[in-house]
Chain A
Amino acid sequence: DAGITQSPRYKITETGRQVTLMCHQTWSHSYMFWYRQDLGHGLRLIYYSAAADITDKGEVPDGYVVSRSKTENFPLTLESATRSQTSVYFCASSTITSYEQYFGPGTRLTVT
């Protein structure tokens, strides 16, 4: 049971480049989430999705774009990466009825 996976696990990119982080879950969970983790801030929600083709902004959505054409995939795109987007990004999923979220292993992104 693969659960929830993220790729790549590590990424270094340059300022201004577009980069896409992938998230894939095998549980058929309806909800999927993207968080960023920064020291002193805990985790902050970027975007979430209640189902395929339904997405909504979280606490820190600026500079990010998401899509969800299939239930199992929820890619996060940084259209023009900035140094302030250097962070660890976590994808998570949950069912409709149970509010606990299950997290992927994270992607460490460095923007130079």
Chain B
Amino acid sequence: GDSVTQMEGPVTLSEEAFLTINCTYTATGYPSLFWYVQYPGEGLQLLLKATKADDKGSNKGFEATYRKETTSFHLEKGSVQVSDSAVYFCALSEPNTGNQFYFGTGTSLTVIP
């Protein structure tokens, strides 16, 4: 079945450091891939997405490229800020599973000044 494996945290970085959060997936079809962010006490917000191989999703300085050959969708940001402190979830969804989402376990990021 479909699944998402995400780098375990927590991750603690200094401000302006480079961020990578690894995400790999297993899917039976042609999934869309997502990164969601959850700030403390809030629901999930879509950060970025990619719907087909080689697509790059980007938003707020974050990027992730849909790599079919390595079944990966790693999240990167060149210079993190304190305001980026949150939990990040990698997820996939594909039409032949009724658009059900499969989430990774989440990676907590803390950015210190």
The answer on A and B forming one complex is no
A interface residue numbers (CB < 8 A to B): none
